Structure 1
């Protein structure tokens, strides 16, 4: 029997502040709500918030606001930390029971016949414990597996982010990923730009940000747009499709 179509909404890098004040002159709360309340998210089976929920350093008000907006959704909501999040504070608002191991948040999630894995790259690396766990757990799955993490596991051609904020141990991570034969698609954020890249036989999908988009051609930080963007993912039997939406 084939797997049913799985629809996932991915919202990344929302950078909510402690209160309603603008963040870098942007109403990030309104931007997040534009994505969350869009028709493109309405019929999803799962919503993933892929890191940097908080703006700077895990502001409690950020998690409180996000939780209040998503708590009544009729679909599961999964969160992973980004480099601006604090896991201990995030865990006060979101159900991370069984997902935190030591000081890292990583876990497996099964839905609609598909197996999704989530890794923690908040400190700028993916720990060896996580990579060993991923290899062992992936080997137990007969079909394809799909992975979410905050940082892209490779360079993306984004001059500013590649040179300053790329994953620090990307070579180690790539080597492990290459060994996992059933890992086919990797979904991430962090770069405030949309990319789709081939990394060997794996495809990397980088979601844009609801906070703002950064000019990928400039060597220094240049704001490209303060309009929110987000991604929708469809996974079916023998296909994966993504679409980016903006307001």
Structure 2
């Protein structure tokens, strides 16, 4: 018996209609994922950033919005480093929700868990957002805490990403998260791998991309494989369980 099911999709990287980077049909990957996850009967989709291939494009956000509307499942979005918060929220949510720091973040209560949706699109978390995080962590001390964000708040042993594209102020973020008296579950993307990292009471779960996966054992960029995956997160009987579901990737 599942009380509530969240499906996390990340790093979609949609480009122009006839664009196939590394021979990958990114639009087909996204459409195939949406078709597959419908059978999972999710209560909520959480899309954790990098909607666009390289540069943010309004037409890409609008196309993604159209596909999500067809599925008809409620969804939340947060930005990644290939996103523009203003364009993203306008295209996907119908209004510009970007604040003075060009960030969009919020919290929610789901199945007894306090959930933070953070914005790391700039590669860091602003002082204003950090202050808000502290308030949210303090007021959730009697609840379990979950976090959705694009960048992992830790180094993950993937040299290409750790050396070139980590969250810039991850130590400050960890200091806030470790204020919570019990374990904190973090669900993120960005690294194009399936990996979990534990740092004190913070458990970080990196979800694979809908583009391709990076080989995590060498310093230079190398593709591991073209399978794609999304994460199924179930809240059931006072527990949380989650796993990655893999699908074949589409090649051009």
The two structures have a TM-score, normalised by structure 1, of: 0.92
Counterpart secondary structure, 1:209: coil
- Write out aligned runs for 1:37-48 (5 A): 37-39=35-37, 42-48=40-46
Aligned equivalents of 1:175, 1:39: Cα separation in 2: 35
Unaligned runs of 5+ in 2: 248-252
Any idea what SS the aligned residue of 2:134 has? Answer: helix
Which residue does 2:161 correspond to in 1?
A: 161
Aligned to 1:59: 57
Equivalent residue number for residue 30 of structure 1: 28
Partner of 2:147: 147
8 Å contact kept, 2:38–2:71: no
Q: Is the 8 A contact 2:186 2:202 kept in 1?
A: yes
State the aligned residue count: 244
In the alignment, which residue of structure 2 is the partner of 1:173?
173
Q: Deviations over 1:167-220 (max 9, x none)?
A: 111111111111123561011000000111111112111100011101001111
**TM-aligned CA distance change 1:234 to 1:197, over 3 Å:** same
Indicate if the aligned counterparts of 1:31 and 1:227 stay in contact, CA closer than 8 A.
no
Is 1:223 matched with 2:223? yes
- Contact 2:86–2:96 (CA under 8 A) maintained in structure 1: no
Aligned partners of 2:81 and 2:122 also within 8 Å: yes
Aligned residue number for residue 211 of structure 1: 211
Alignment of 1:1-247 (within 5 A): 5-39=3-37, 42-95=40-93, 100-102=98-100, 103-141=102-140, 142-182=142-182, 184-247=184-247
RMSD of the alignment, in Å? 1.9
Structure 1 residue 243, shift from structure 2 partner: 0.9
For residues 72 and 110 of structure 1, the distance between their equivalents in structure 2, rounded to whole angstroms, comes to 26
Summarize the Cα distance change of 1:41–1:230 in structure 2 as closer, same or farther, 3 Å threshold. farther
Unmatched 5+ residue regions in structure 1? none
Quote the offset at 1:66 in angstroms. Answer: 0.9
**C-alpha contact 1:17 1:61 (8 A) present in aligned 2:** no
Is this contact kept in 1: 2:152–2:166, CA < 8 A? Answer: yes
TM-score w.r.t. structure 2 length?
0.90
Q: Aligned-pair distance for 1:139?
A: 2.4
Higher alpha-carbon deviation: 233-242 or 69-78: 233-242
Q: Indicate if the aligned counterparts of 2:6 and 2:43 stay in contact, CA closer than 8 A.
A: yes
